[in-house]
């Protein structure tokens, strides 16, 4: 074997057609008969021909490549969304160039360098997974002349609306976390809970800020007393340590503890759950516990955790749909028909085609999943 690449002209000769016809088949042109298409495909399969990406780009002026610049890769939500984006791109024969950035150790200049390196490779559009305010600001300020979708939350220190007004090629998408927190409050209120504790996430994360603001607003509206424990990260270890410190501050932890605890994510809830178990405080008999994110395995926690299930995979599909529309590609992905691994997302209706906007971020509803970690208030 010489390893020589098969050319489009060899395929054309084997199929008895012109190389222009082979090109039309490769690019899914409708101007080819079924019989001719089958003949060309048979020649392609026999010869093992693979189209040259560079040649296709020259012929079509399109690279079919999207850049994805992401932060928050240590956590379930961003990873699920990125997996969905890659699956949708592959399904529609697009390529994704992925760059991972540390959430805390980059500057606007470093961000621009990564974006410009992607542009040098001919990317046609960007998706930014931007969980923190600095990443959102860098993504919006980046000097780009191609469409971009920024995946983030609706509340934070950076106002996205002026950027959207100035540049119609920018879109911001996210999860409706405020409504999800409202659902938690309503659920606990219906169970008779009036004294609550909330564990907040890291303040630079827009998800954490949205959930914290929503919790304070909605719990006050429902007439709940609440106390907030501020945490510097999303992890279970810090939540475990800080919650134990809180319990130590109570004269009688079992009697003085509020009747419901809500954590800003499931990892924090697991840290709280361990601390409660070690103190002999039962969930949900003595205190109800709620998380957020519906991470794998929390349905098998002891007890199974009540939480919120954001459609992270649907968010990725919605991002790709937005980019496809902006780029003028045909054969748009169907909203909600693909999960992170390319399969149907069980139990999800998917992202709505016409999403409501909150502070410039188009958001999709996240459903609450009620399990056995919540019950009627016992005190």
**Statement: residue 60 has pLDDT above 80:** no
From CA 137, how far away is CA 160, in angstroms rounded?
8
Q: What is the pLDDT of residue 100?
A: 84
* Residues 267 and 196 placed together within one structural domain of the fold: yes
Q: What is the pLDDT of residue 255?
A: 92
From CA 171, how far away is CA 308, in angstroms rounded?
25
Which of 25 and 339 is assigned the larger pLDDT? Answer: 25
Q: What is the pLDDT of residue 53?
A: 53
Q: What is the pLDDT of residue 3?
A: 54
- Segment 300-312 shows an average pLDDT of 96
- Segment 146-151 shows an average pLDDT of 94
Which of 82 and 347 is assigned the larger pLDDT? Answer: 82
Q: What is the pLDDT of residue 109?
A: 81
- Segment 313-332 shows an average pLDDT of 84
Q: What is the pLDDT of residue 229?
A: 98
**Statement: residue 137 has pLDDT above 50:** yes
* Residues 231 and 324 placed together within one structural domain of the fold: no
Q: What is the pLDDT of residue 379?
A: 83
* Confidence class for position 347, pLDDT limits 50, 70, 90: very low
* Residues 203 and 249 placed together within one structural domain of the fold: yes
* Confidence class for position 107, pLDDT limits 50, 70, 90: confident
* Residues 82 and 103 placed together within one structural domain of the fold: yes
- Segment 227-239 shows an average pLDDT of 97
Q: What is the pLDDT of residue 179?
A: 97
**Statement: residue 345 has pLDDT above 50:** no
* Residues 222 and 322 placed together within one structural domain of the fold: no
* Residues 142 and 99 placed together within one structural domain of the fold: yes
| Residue 250 within a domain | yes
In percent, the amount of the chain with pLDDT more than 70 equals: 88
From CA 330, how far away is CA 62, in angstroms rounded?
13
| Residue 367 within a domain | no
| CATH code assigned at 135 | 3.40.50.2300
* Confidence class for position 168, pLDDT limits 50, 70, 90: very high
Q: What distance separates the 2 farthest-apart alpha carbons in the chain? A: 88
- Average pLDDT of the chain, as a whole number: 87
* Residues 187 and 140 placed together within one structural domain of the fold: no
* Residues 182 and 279 placed together within one structural domain of the fold: yes
Contact between residue 146 and residue 168 where contact means Cβ atoms under 8 Å apart: no
Count of domains observed in the chain: 3
**Statement: residue 333 has pLDDT above 70:** no
**Statement: residue 180 has pLDDT above 70:** yes
Q: Which of 187-201, 262-276, 310-324 has the lowest mean pLDDT?
A: 310-324
Residue at token pair 């999709």: 364
β-strands 65-70, 125-129 pairing: parallel
| Residue 141 within a domain | yes
Contact between residue 271 and residue 243 where contact means Cβ atoms under 8 Å apart: yes
- The token pair at 319 is 């991002």
Q: What is the pLDDT of residue 350?
A: 45
| CATH code assigned at 12 | 1.10.260.40
HEC secondary structure over the chain: CCCCCCCHHHHHHHHCCCHHHHHHHHCCCCCCCHHHHHHHHHHHHHHCCCCCHHHHHHHHCCCCEEEEEECCCCCHHHHHHHHHHHHHHHHCCCEEEEEECCCCCCCHHHHHHHHHHHHHCCCCEEEEECCEHHHHHHHHHCCCCCCEEEECCCCCCCCCHHHHHHCCCEEEEEEEHHHHHHHHHHHHHHCCCCEEEEEECCCCEHHHHHHHHHHHHHHHHCCCEEEEEECCCCCHHHHHHHHHHHHHCCCCHHHHCCCEEEECCHHHHHHHHHHHHHCCCCCCCCCEEECCCCCCCHHHCCCCCEEEECCHHHHHHHHHHHHHHHHCCCCCCCCCCCCCCCCCCCCCCCCCCCCCEECCEEEEECEEECCCCCCCCCC
Whole-structure pTM value: 0.80
- Segment 123-129 shows an average pLDDT of 92
**Statement: residue 231 has pLDDT above 70:** yes
| Residue 120 within a domain | yes
Q: How many other CB atoms are found less than 10 A from the CB of residue 356?
A: 12
From CA 92, how far away is CA 199, in angstroms rounded?
41
Q: What is the pLDDT of residue 228?
A: 98
Q: Residue 50: give the domain boundaries.
A: 8-60
Q: Which of 50-54, 120-124, 318-322 is most confident? A: 318-322
- The token pair at 25 is 């088949």
β-strands 170-176, 195-200 pairing: unpaired
Q: What is the pLDDT of residue 58?
A: 40
């Amino acid at each position: 074997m010489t390893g020589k690449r098969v050319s489009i002209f060899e395929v054309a000769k084997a199929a008895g057609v012109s190389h222009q016809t082979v090109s039309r088949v490769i690019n899914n042109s409708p101007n080819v008969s079924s019989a001719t298409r089958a003949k060309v495909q048979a020649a392609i399969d026999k010869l093992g021909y693979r189209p040259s990406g560079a040649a296709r780009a020259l012929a079509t002026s399109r690279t079919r490549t999207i850049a994805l610049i992401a932060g928050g890769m240590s956590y379930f939500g961003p990873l699920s969304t990125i997996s969905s984006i890659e699956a949708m791109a592959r399904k529609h024969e697009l390529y994704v160039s992925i760059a991972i950035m540390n959430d805390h150790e980059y500057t606007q200049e470093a961000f621009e360098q990564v974006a410009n390196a992607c542009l040098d490779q001919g990317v046609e559009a960007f998706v930014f997974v931007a969980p923190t305010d600095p990443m959102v600001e860098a993504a919006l300020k980046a000097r780009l002349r191609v469409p971009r979708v920024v995946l983030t939350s609706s509340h934070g220190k950076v106002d996205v609306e002026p950027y959207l007004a100035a540049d119609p090629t920018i879109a911001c998408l996210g999860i409706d976390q405020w409504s999800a927190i409202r659902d938690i409050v309503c659920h606990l209120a219906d169970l008779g809970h009036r004294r609550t504790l909330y564990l907040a996430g890291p303040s630079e994360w827009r998800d954490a800020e949205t959930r914290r603001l929503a919790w304070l607003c909605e719990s006050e509206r429902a007439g709940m007393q609440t106390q907030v424990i501020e945490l510097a990260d999303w992890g279970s270890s810090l939540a475990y340590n800080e919650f134990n410190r809180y319990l130590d501050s109570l004269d009688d932890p079992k009697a003085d503890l509020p009747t419901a605890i809500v954590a800003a994510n499931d990892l924090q809830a697991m840290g709280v759950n361990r601390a409660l178990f070690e103190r002999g405080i039962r969930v949900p008999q003595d205190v109800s516990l709620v998380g957020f994110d519906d991470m794998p395995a929390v349905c098998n926690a002891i007890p199974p955790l009540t939480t919120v299930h954001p459609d992270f995979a649907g968010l990725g599909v919605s991002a790709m749909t937005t980019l496809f529309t902006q780029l003028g590609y045909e054969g748009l992905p169907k909203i909600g028909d693909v999960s992170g691994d390319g399969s149907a997302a069980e139990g999800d209706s998917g992202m709505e085609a016409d999403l409501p906007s909150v502070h410039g971020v188009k958001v999709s509803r996240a459903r609450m999943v009620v399990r056995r970690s919540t019950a009627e208030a016992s005190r």
